[in-house]
């Protein structure tokens, strides 16, 4: 098997993982991580998705012998001289990757792991992550007070770094105010990097904030 064929197969193999990871990041606020961790996630998504598709095809094949599609050993298939990974297996693996992304999103938001551990009396903790890791789970519209510039930023979190000494955060649709709460300007997107004690974050009810702004605009009009 030539190198080009191997690369093509490997890309098709990673396709469910790529799509699954993209959906997961779309459904969750994305925390910046090392690229190799994202790559490991893609491979894990893909392997798990292809294994599930093989199980489904195996069950259907045993129930209906005339069924034209068959399970494949994806690792062996990539290394073999077969020309291509069957389209049906790839499509089903992609579907499972999307479902897996939704399940993991639900598990993350509802903290299923620690709920299960609590049921088994393994721990009394409700979470094992630093507060920063879940700071924006309930709401991603925040007020960030910068102790360096004295500015106040009001916007939506689109990504943020891990729990390191230097915290990086990206906001979109940002309204910038000075320390006296006077409006300065609007930015489509803003990046800020600070140590953990150089800023503070407040989270307000977005709907209530919009209602207050609307009332203020009406009064000014």
% of the chain with per-residue pLDDT over 70: 82
pLDDT of residue 221: 46
Minimum mean pLDDT among 13-17, 40-44, 160-164: which range?
160-164
**Residue 95 is inside which H or E element, if any?**
helix 87-110
Domains, the chain, with CATH or none: 3-116 (no CATH), 132-220 (2.30.30.100)
Greatest mean pLDDT among 22-31, 103-112, 181-190, 197-206 lies in 181-190
Q: Are strands 183-195 and 199-203 parallel, antiparallel or unpaired?
A: unpaired
Say how far apart CA 134 and CA 111 lie, in whole Å.
11
Burial 2-40 (b: 16+ CB within 10 A, else e): eeeeeeebeebbbbbbbbbbebbeeeeebeeeeeeeeee
Confidence at residue 140, expressed as pLDDT on a 0 to 100 scale = 83
Is the pLDDT at 201 greater than 80? The verdict is yes
Q: Helix %, strand %, coil % for the chain, to 5?
A: 50, 20, 30
Residue 49's pLDDT is: 93
Predicted pLDDT of residue 211? 55
Stronger pLDDT, 136 or 102, i.e. the higher one: 102
Check pLDDT > 90 for residue 184. Answer: yes
What are the b/e assignments for 71-108, b being 16+ CB within 10 Å?
Answer: bbebeebbeeeeeebbeebbebbbbbbbebbeebbeeb
Higher per-residue confidence, 196 vs 109: 196
> Which of 98, 99, 57 is CA-nearest to residue 74?
57
pTM of the predicted model as reported, rounded to 2 decimal places = 0.57
The pLDDT-based confidence of 209 (bands split at 50, 70, 90) is low
Q: What is the pLDDT of residue 204?
A: 75
Residue 55 in tokens:
């199980």
Q: Convert the pLDDT of each residue in 47-101 to its tens digit.
A: 999 999 999 999 998 998 888 888 887 877 777 766 678 888 899 999 999 999 9
CB 106 within 8 A of CB 26: no
């Amino acid at each position: 098997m030539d190198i080009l064929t191997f690369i093509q197969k490997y890309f098709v193999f990673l396709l469910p993982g790529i799509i699954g990871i993209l959906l997961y990041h779309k459904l969750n606020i994305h925390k910046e991580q090392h690229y190799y961790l994202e790559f490991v996630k893609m491979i894990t998504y893909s392997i798990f998705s292809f294994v599930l598709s093989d199980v489904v095809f195996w069950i259907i094949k045993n129930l209906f012998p005339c069924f034209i599609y068959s399970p494949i050993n994806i690792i062996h298939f990539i290394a073999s001289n077969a020309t291509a990974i069957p389209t049906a297996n790839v499509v089903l693996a992609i579907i499972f990757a999307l479902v897996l992304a939704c399940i993991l999103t639900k598990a993350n938001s509802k903290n299923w792991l620690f709920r299960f551990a609590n049921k088994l009396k393994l721990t009394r903790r409700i979470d094992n992550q630093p507060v920063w890791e879940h700071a924006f789970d309930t709401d991603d519209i925040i007020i960030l007070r910068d102790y360096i510039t004295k500015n106040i930023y009001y916007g939506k979190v689109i990504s943020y770094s891990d729990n390191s000494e230097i915290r990086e955060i990206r906001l979109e649709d940002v309204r910038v105010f000075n320390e006296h709460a006077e409006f300065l300007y609007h930015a489509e997107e803003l990046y800020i990097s600070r140590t953990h004690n150089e800023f503070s974050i407040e989270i307000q009810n977005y709907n209530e904030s919009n209602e207050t702004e609307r009332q203020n605009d009406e009064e000014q009009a």
